[in-house]
Each structure stands twice: as structure tokens, then as C-alpha cells.
Chains A and B, each alone.
Chain A
Amino acid sequence: MPFACIYVPNFPVAAALRAEPELQARAVAMLEGKPPLETIIAVNEKAVGMGIAPGMTKAQAELCAELALRPRSALRESAAHAALLDCAQSFSPCVEDAACDTALLDLAGMESLFGSLPEISRAIYSRAAALGLTANVAVASNPDAAVLAARGLCDAGLCGTGTPFDKLRAGFARVGVAVIPQGKEAEQLGSLPVKVLFAEQIDGEEKKTAARLLETLNRWGIRNLRGLAALPEVSLSERLGQEGLRLQQLARGAASRTLVSVEAPLVFEEAVELEHPIVLLEPLAFLLNRLLEQICARLGSRALATQELRLTLELENFSALNQQSAIKNQQFVRTLRLPLPMLDAKVFLKLLQLDLNAHPPGAPIVKIHLAAEPARPRSAQGGLFLPPSPEPEKLELTLARIAGMVGEDKVGALELLDTHHPEGFRMRRFVAEDPRKSSREKTSDAAEEQSVITALRRFRPPLRAHVTLENGQPTHLVCRNRNNVEGKVLWRAGPWRFSGDWWEREAWSRDEWDIALQNNALRNGEDISFCRLVHDLLGGGWFVEGTYD
């Protein structure tokens, strides 16, 4: 029953590098503590080469000009941890959250899906890299052996002291991948140093106990796991107790336990805290792009898409700063709702840019938080003989651009309301749904004949008119602002009385006339137009509502 362990070495640095990939080529050191007593807690390989070590103060580290100093961020580490679990759960449903930097997964039955164990381990490594994490992947027949192997890979690779895992890596092109065959755990793990048994991040009394045990083993001359595994059990039990026996079982790779499976919630959030507030939208777009790519990679690893993006920007609050009170930044929230599930970081970025252009935050940004609501990706099968339809991603961008130009409420699909009001409609989001065969498709030419309906062109807002009445009927019409809508009324039909919404404040009551207007202003001979004339019975005015065309 194989198990795989994904271990992210140097986790604080890895989380920072995932958030800022451009730091990969630089020496990085992570700081923790309250200013000015900040100390270095983690460094990468390049920083080690420059002589930077954990425990140094910030002032000491700043002497090295090429070193990039970053404060430790809980937000980044939690996002990296979530990405690690996403990576594990994209391969197996049985995943144990062993530590913030370690995930264990049960690979039983996965060979038929992903291939042999080396192929699976390489796939896990690649998936983790796609999510921005440089991880060690080890596969063994029990979880603890897999954990030790993954951590041992780290030590061997980072310290550069010899190549104890050369034998393991013999068949793999990538560094950081190891597969231990069943029954050879003790042999393969034997060359690892004893300290890998105490590599778990523990605090308090347990840490002291672990340090005492490690010191005891050192005094005995036990340097690697092979030596520990060879000790007689009874004597070891007499001297170190049950803990000693447990460590020996681990060293032999013979410990057995079941995974404590976790059901990771489908939360896809990424956040970044900024050292200096962002004022312009252009640099914000770079950060959004990075967050969106990370979220899309995580969603993609879980075979999901998103239909809703929530962008929360924490803004600098000037008034709080001036009052010297507790700084309480205000939040600026924008929600991007999509008609269909999508998974395209570029489209999301463009939509967010257009949205922020239309609704700018209004203050410098100090923190960016982006969350995606997961949804099942749409499955559409295009038909060869179906009429074309706009691509949803392109259409969303187009609609967003047009909405930014004409206004959000001025673009969309029509929806008639259940009312007799002449403007009884509202605009709703236009969605290019899959073409469905409607019953109207089968209608013949008779239906086409019926569709030649006289259309009305509306004036929005209606044109106020001065109407001359004769026996209560309009005979002459003048519109001050439209010289082509005035003249003698040649023909009229009406009045047709309409009223509604009398129970509300916006009650309306009117008489409608259909008139033929002889327009004297036009000189092209086509001097008759047919209009709808409305007498507002509540307001008392006359309006030309539109022309029949």
C-alpha cells in the first residue's frame, strides 16, 4: 500500500518565492519579530552562500546589499499550505495534513489512473511546481518512511554534503523525487542523518525532549539511521524507553499507521500585503495577475472553475492616521459575477481591470485579497450544424468593455416585466447560452408573415409637445426641440386610455393617440410620419412617445 509525501523544504522562503517568483534568482532571507528586534528565521541556498544564517539580526543582514529581506507573512504561508493540499488532493482523495509544509497521500489504486509509482511521483512534483512550490516527493510503503525520505532528500540536496540518495535518484531525471521499494526501507533510509527524526516543528517540552534524545544518540556515536536501527531493542528500551523504540521503528522504516484523512474545504483565496501602498491601477494589475494565476492553477488542479471572483482591497485610511488613533483600514470590495464557469486568468484580469477602471478604489491600497467561488467547469459540445455563438470569455470581455463605454445598465438582454407600463422592461445580463432548438424553429413561412409587425421607435425621454386641440382631438403639433416632429395632424386614432400602478407613488394614467403628422419641415416629399401622441392625465402634459417605423 504505497504512500506519498510532499514536503516543501524551507517553507517560509518557499511561500515568499511563490508569491514573488522574481526572487527565485536572488538571495532571500525571511524576517520575524517586532521592529527593530527582527531576526532572520529562514534563508534560501543563495543566502547561505553569502554567509547569511538564521538567527542573524536584520541590521546584520542589511550589510549584504544583494540580499532580499522579506517579513514572514501568515497570509502567504496559509495560501501556500492550501496550494500544497490542493496538489495532494488532485491525486488522491485520502490526504493527511501532516504539517504546514508536509502532506501525505494514499496512493492505493492510483496506478491505473496515473501510471507507475515513479510516474506518479514525477507528476506530483510537476503539479507542485505548477502551483509555485518546489517540493520533495517521496513514495514508500508506509507514511513515516515516506516522510523521512522526503525530508532526507531536502537535507541531502540543501546541505550538499555528499550524495546519500544517489542510489534513490538513479532512475529519476528530477531532483526531489524518490521511490523506496517495499522491503528496502531500512536499506534506503539508513544513510540519512539521525536529525531527520526530529525535523518536525515542535514546541515546548517535546522540543526539549527531542533535543535531549538527539544529544544522547550523538554521545553514543549514532550518526545515521542505520546505526540506530542496528541497536538491540531491549537495551534501547531500557535506556530511552518507548520513545527510543518508536524512533528505532521509524529508522527501520517499519512503523505502520493509518492516515488521518482531512477533507480540505474548497476555499480558494490568495492575498498579498504590500509594504508600500499602491496608488496606480497599473502596478495593481501585475499583482492581480499573479494572484489570479495562482488561483486558476489551484482551481485547475482540482478540476474546477469559478463563477464568482471577490476582490477585497484594503485601503489606507488617512483620517485614522491623522487622528493618531488605531489604524483601521477601510475595505473596498468588488464582486465579479460571471454567467458561466470560467478558468482563464487573462480574462479575469481584463475583467477586473475594466471593473476597477469603472469603479476606482479611491485610496492607496495596502492589502489585496482575492477569493474565487469554485464551480464545476462547463461542459459544452459544439455541434457541426448548429449556428455559431459567441465564445463566453470573449463575450464577457466585450460586454465589459461596452458597459464601460455606455454604462452598465445600457447593455444586456431585454426582459419584459409583467406590467402594462409602456416602459415595462428591464435589462438583464446577456448570456450566450447553448443554442437550443425552439419550437419556433419549425414554423413555416406563415410565422414569418406574422412577424411583420409595425414597430415603434421610442423617444427616450418622450418629447414634450404643444398640441392644438379641436373638439378634444389633436389637430396640430409642435415640438420645440425636434423640428421634424411638428405639423398638422392629418389622421388620428384614439384616445386609448391606459393607467396603472395607482397603488404606488409612481402612478400613471394617460391617453394615447396614434396620429399621422404632416411635417412641413421636410422637403424630400416624404412628409408624413406616424407618431404616438400621449396625454399625461396626471401631469397634464402632451408628449410624443415615438414614431411608427
Chain B
Amino acid sequence: MSSAVVPTPAALGRPSVFDADANPEVCSRVFQSAIKNQQSKIPPVSVVPASQFEIRPAPEMVSSGVPAVDALTGGLPRGCLTEICGPASSGRTTLLLAALAAATRRGEFCAVVDASDALDPQSVAATGVELQRLLWVRCGESSPQRERSPRRHRNAEKDSSPINQSSEDRVGPRNTKFSSENSLEQVLRATDLLLESGGFGLIALDLGDLQPQAARHIPLTTWFRFRRAIEYTPTILLAIEQRPIAGSCSSLLLQLGPSNNQGETMMLDRSESSREAAAWESPARQCRVAMERASEPRRDGTASDAKDISRIACPTHAQLLTGLHITAELIRSRMDRKPARPVAFATKTAWAG
């Protein structure tokens, strides 16, 4: 037997139990009056139907400067955070500069917040970036903020070891815990200021040399703040890093890495004559192939040695670094794109012609 619990005014908040089968008319009357009471109590605008929720419009996509990446992702979304991650020599900076060149070609002003002061002006100019439209913020150790802060000065004194005072290290070290924290703080504050200023078409955060351990110190709320700041603006916020750190705040996550497809591994079976021609090709391809070859066990069961590597990639004075072969993989996208296979594209050095 089923029973219904209906709150009535007579019960003063205490539920009364009715037997619906025994007295269905009374039950239905009580139900209707209760529903009417509830409806009168609820303000009509307090509950918004799910069908009336505002649908976020799809962001405008603009070219990243690399056709293969555009084909994979549809471009870079405006008003969103895009993460490009990958290890060293995976083409992150190349893609960043290509995006900057494309943005400045569109007449937009861009800004690069450089956490490790790593931007190479010659590379920037060779990529085709209009230099007068690019704002470069070089974060690093030697900042007035650090010099003025007594707390940091004490910390720096504490951290400074005798080895840091040698002449050798005056030109070398910068990868200390302090410097990364300091530069990270500068990066976040500078990015905040630039986002607040507005008017930039692309703001890039270069965290490429930042160790993942240090990058994890960025609170997630910071990325949420950045996302909110650029929402509904035409600004693209682009971050390059070693590992993804923004979590769900990024609308597009792109993983870059070395190219490692079947076409390259076929080079292993090339004849000796074709190997000379291969020497003119990308050394990245050659070296990775050589490494794979070295790591694979030989058919006779013995491991290959380094001589094989040097034999394949023979060093000659005439050799030239012509470029890199890069694979781009779409890890996450909010633009409702179907999962796509990774794409590969080649870069070339400025002197390769």
C-alpha cells in the first residue's frame, strides 16, 4: 500500500499521512492545494529552466600561423586560454612565433611575457613578426622589485652558496629556486596587468623553461582569473610550457613532440647511397631514428652501440641544421571538434633557404 506525505497548513509544518487508496478525492484535493501553495510561495523568476540557460557562443577562431595546426584545431580561439606543451626542442617556441607573426600580420598588437628571458630577437624577426607591434616583457632575476625587497634579499643571501660566487657561475647559473619563483611572480603580475589593460590581440606566456615542479605552484585560481579576464574579449591567451598546468581553464590543449611516424622509420632501411642524401635532411629525424635504432635489439640479439648512431648521422662540416619535424596532438578542445589524429609539420631554420 502506498502512502503520500503532504505538508498542509493545518499541520503547521508537520507532515500528515493520508491513505490515497482509502480516500482518493481528499488526497487529490490536498495535493492540489499543496501544489498551489508551493507555487504561490516560489517566486516565478527564481528557477530558470534549463532550456533558457545562456549558451556560450562559440569563440572566433583565428589562424595559428601553421596550416597543419589550423587543420587540427581549427585555429586559436579568441577569448580563451590555449596551452601548448611539450619538452625542449618540440617546437613550442616555433609555434608561438608563428602565431605572433600571424597576429601581427592581422594588424594586432601582441605581448610576450617571457618567464626566462629566452626570446631570440633574430628568430622573431626571421619568423616575420612585426617588431613594433610586439611588446616583450623580460622577467628574470635582476629586477628592482627583488633588489628592494629585504625579505628576498635575506633569502637570496641565505641561498647563495660559495659556488655561486665563483667567476664561472657569474656567467652561468640562473636556474635557482628563488629566481624561478621570482620570475613566476613577475610573469603572473605582468600578465594580470596586460589583461587588465586590454587591446592586445595575443598575449603569450612563455613558461617553456619553467620546471613543472615550479609551474605547479601557480594556483588554479590564477588561471580562472585569467580566463575570466579574457572572456568575451578578442584576446588570445597562449601559454607554452612543459606540462599542462592550467587544468580545465584552458579551452585548447595542444601537445607537441618530435615527429615519429612510419615514414621516418623507413629511413632505417635506406641504402648506403641514399644515406648521403638523407644527411641533408632534418637532423632531428636522423637522430631520433638513430636513437630508435640504438635502442632496438639487433637481429642477432646483441644491442646496437653508439658507433651505429655516428655512422648514420655522420658529422661533416657541410652539414646544416635545416629544421625540425614536429608532431602536434590535440589533447583537449572545447570547440566540439572530433578527435583527430596527430598532425606533423616541418620547420626550417632561417638559414636553410
Residues of A within 8 A of B (CB): 358, 386-391, 394-395, 397-399, 401-402, 404-407, 410-416, 422-425, 427, 430-433, 435-438, 440-441, 443, 445, 447-464, 473, 479-482, 484, 488, 490-495, 514, 516, 518, 522, 524, 526-530, 543, 546-549
Contact = CB atoms under 8 A, between A and B. Distances in A.
Identify which of B109, B124, B168, B349 gathers the most chain A CB atoms within 10 Å of its CB: B109
B118 A546 contact: yes
B228 to A, nearest CB: 18
B117 interface: yes
B207 to A, nearest CB: 12
Interface string B95-122: 0111001100111110000000111111
A452 to B, nearest CB: 5
A427 B283 CA distance: 34
A514 B208 CA distance: 20
Given A390-B197, A454-B348, A448 B66 contact: yes
B43 interface: no
Interface in B161-204: 168-169, 171-175, 186, 189-190, 193-194, 196-201
A516 B312 CA distance: 13
B218 interface: no
Contact of B171 (A358, A451, A464, A494): A464
Given A479-B172, A481-B174, 14 more contacts: A397-B197, A405-B144, A405-B145, A412-B136, A416-B122, A432-B199, A436-B107, A448-B67, A450-B128, A453-B123, A453-B127, A527-B291, A528-B284, A548-B89
A495 to B, nearest CB: 8
Interface string B127-151: 1101111111111101111000000
B306 interface: yes
A407 B147 CA distance: 11
Contacts of A414: 121, 124-125, 131, 134, 136
Contacts of B134: 413-414
B315 to A, nearest CB: 5
Given A387-B201, A441-B106, A547-B89, A528 B143 contact: no
Contacts of A527: 291
Interface string B276-295: 00000001101110110000
B264 to A, nearest CB: 13
A526 B193 contact: no
Interface in B51-108: 63, 65-67, 86-94, 96-98, 101-102, 105-108
Nearest to A549: B93
B217 interface: no
A302 B333 CA distance: 55
B94 A549 contact: yes
Interface of B: 63, 65-67, 86-94, 96-98, 101-102, 105-109, 117-128, 130-140, 142-145, 168-169, 171-175, 186, 189-190, 193-194, 196-201, 208-209, 234, 257-258, 283-284, 286-288, 290-291, 306, 309-310, 313, 315, 317, 319-321, 323-324, 345-350
Nearest to A390: B199
Nearest to B324: A454
A405 B189 contact: yes
Contacts of A493: 283, 315, 319-321
Nearest to A426: B121
B171 A462 contact: yes
A528 B107 contact: no
B140 A492 contact: no
A526 B258 contact: yes
Contact of B175 (A438, A482, A494): A482
Contacts of A450: 128
Contacts of A526: 86-88, 90, 257-258
A405 B143 contact: yes
A457 B321 CA distance: 15
B319 A464 contact: no
Contacts of B315: 473, 491-493
Contacts of B319: 491-493
Contacts of A435: 107-108
A388 B199 contact: yes
Contacts of B257: 526
Chain A interface, DSSP helix/strand/loop, else mixed? mixed
A455 B94 contact: yes
Given A407-B143, A410-B140, A490-B287, A389 B105 contact: no
26 contacts: A388-B108, A402-B193, A407-B143, A416-B121, A448-B63, A449-B67, A451-B101, A452-B94, A453-B127, A455-B97, A461-B174, A464-B172, A481-B169, A488-B306, A495-B317, A526-B88, A529-B89, A530-B284, A530-B321, A530-B324, A543-B171, A546-B118, A547-B88, A548-B89, A549-B91, A549-B92
A547 B88 CA distance: 7
A320 to B, nearest CB: 29
Contact of B209 (A389, A427, A457): A457
A455 B283 contact: no
Given A427-B136, A448-B66, A522 B87 contact: yes
Given A416-B125, A438-B105, A452 B198 contact: no
A494 B286 CA distance: 17
B107 A549 contact: no
A201 to B, nearest CB: 52
A368 to B, nearest CB: 24
Contacts of A479: 172
Given A411-B136, A455-B96, A358 B67 contact: no
Contacts of B309: 490
Contacts of A395: 197, 199
B145 A406 contact: yes
Nearest to B350: A453
Contacts of B320: 493, 514
Contact of A454 (B67, B94, B96, B173): B94
A389 B291 contact: no
